[in-house]
């Protein structure tokens, strides 16, 4: 009888233990952990999926974009340039001076010049002293180079270069200076003439006659 009761007590105790084990909440965290674990993995996979999708998108975009081709450079059609503006020139009849074939005296002659301003006016006037189309009128300034000429405050400033072949004797030098003075002083606005040789004032043009600085109507006896 006692053994039966003992067996019955042990069996009851085992039933309690078994039922207690079945009611333990320990399995639930395990299940939850099992549920949460896929969630975490799923999130990671989602991130990887986005990265792959961007990579695929960029890769596809790169595949679809064709290499840029250089556009042909357009060349503008040549533009017609404006014609140079023609400056109206004045004409004036003047007197110029040569010497005779024997170089004995000055010979007066008529000439005509065209010019747009004062500098050109006096430059063109000087040129008439350098050339002659008549055999009996010999230019005294032939072969002399006019390097520059300007007109300021009533004064003509001219710079010349005199080569050796343009050298004249005492009579020819005196007439050359007189011809120059008479040429320029026929213009009322010209008050003086400063004659330079290679940019410098010289005592004599050709070594025979003193050269005034500047030449005026008074010191040239005009």
pLDDT for residue 68: 56
The verdict on residue 212 lying in a domain is: yes
What contacts 154, CB < 8 A, 6 or more positions away? 189, 190, 191, 192
d(CA 68, CA 14): 83
Q: Are residues 40 and 95 in the same domain?
A: no
Q: Are residues 97 and 40 in the same domain?
A: no
pLDDT for residue 79: 62
pLDDT for residue 221: 80
What contacts 196, CB < 8 A, 6 or more positions away? 157, 158, 159, 160, 202
* DSSP states of 85-140: PPPP-EEEEEEEEEE-TTS-SEEEEEEEEEESSHHHHHHHHHHTTT--SSTT-B-S
Helix/strand/coil (H, E, C) string of 62-89?
Answer: HHHCCCCCCCCCCCCCCCCCCCCCCCCC
Q: Are residues 184 and 120 in the same domain?
A: yes
The verdict on residue 85 lying in a domain is: no
Q: Are residues 40 and 107 in the same domain?
A: no
Q: Are residues 126 and 201 in the same domain?
A: yes
Distance of CA 157 to the CA centre of its chain: 33
Residue 202 phi, psi (nearest 5): -120, 155
Q: Is the pLDDT at 26 greater than 50, yes or no?
A: no
The verdict on residue 189 lying in a domain is: yes
Average pLDDT, the chain: 79
- Vertex 91: Cα angle to 86 and 92 (nearest 5): 155
Host domain of residue 171: 90-216
The verdict on residue 186 lying in a domain is: yes
Q: Are residues 170 and 107 in the same domain?
A: yes
Q: Are residues 203 and 97 in the same domain?
A: yes
Q: Are residues 39 and 99 in the same domain?
A: no
Give residue for tokens 């009611």: 23
- pLDDT tens column, 171-221: 999 999 999 999 999 999 999 999 999 999 999 999 999 999 999 999 998
Please give the tally of structural domains in the chain: 2
d(CA 4, CA 13): 14
Q: Are residues 50 and 115 in the same domain?
A: no
The verdict on residue 9 lying in a domain is: yes
Rounded mean pLDDT, 136-164: 97
pLDDT for residue 36: 47
* DSSP states of 162-184: --GGG---HHHHHHHHHHHHHHH
- pLDDT tens column, 111-137: 999 999 999 999 999 999 999 999 999
Q: Are residues 48 and 118 in the same domain?
A: no
**Of 56-60, 62-66, 117-121, which has the strongest mean pLDDT?**
117-121
Q: Are residues 209 and 114 in the same domain?
A: yes
Among the listed residues 104, 108, 90, the one whose alpha carbon sits nearest the alpha carbon of residue 186: 108
Residue 108 phi, psi (nearest 5): -85, 140
The verdict on residue 156 lying in a domain is: yes
Q: Are residues 143 and 37 in the same domain?
A: no
């Amino acid at each position: 009888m006692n053994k039966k009761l003992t067996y019955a007590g042990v069996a009851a105790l085992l039933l309690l233990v078994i039922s207690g084990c079945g009611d333990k909440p320990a399995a639930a965290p395990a299940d939850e952990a099992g549920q949460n674990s896929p969630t975490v993995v799923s999130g990671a996979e989602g991130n990887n999926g986005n990265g792959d999708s961007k990579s695929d998108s960029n890769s596809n975009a790169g595949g679809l974009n064709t290499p840029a081709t250089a556009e042909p450079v357009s060349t503008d059609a040549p533009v017609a340039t404006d014609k140079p503006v023609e400056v109206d020139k004045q004409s004036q009849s003047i007197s110029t001076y040569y010497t005779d074939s024997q170089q004995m005296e000055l010979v007066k002659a008529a000439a005509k010049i065209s010019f747009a301003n004062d500098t050109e006016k006096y430059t063109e006037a000087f040129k008439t002293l350098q050339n002659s189309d008549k055999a009996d009128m010999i230019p005294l300034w032939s072969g002399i180079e006019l390097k520059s000429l300007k007109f300021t405050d009533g004064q003509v400033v001219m710079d010349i270069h005199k080569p050796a072949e343009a050298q004249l004797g005492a009579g020819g030098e005196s007439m050359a200076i007189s011809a120059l003075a008479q040429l320029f002083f026929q213009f009322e606005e010209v008050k003086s003439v400063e004659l330079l040789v290679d940019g410098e004032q010289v005592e004599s043009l050709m070594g025979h006659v003193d050269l005034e600085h500047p030449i005026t109507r008074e010191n040239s006896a005009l």
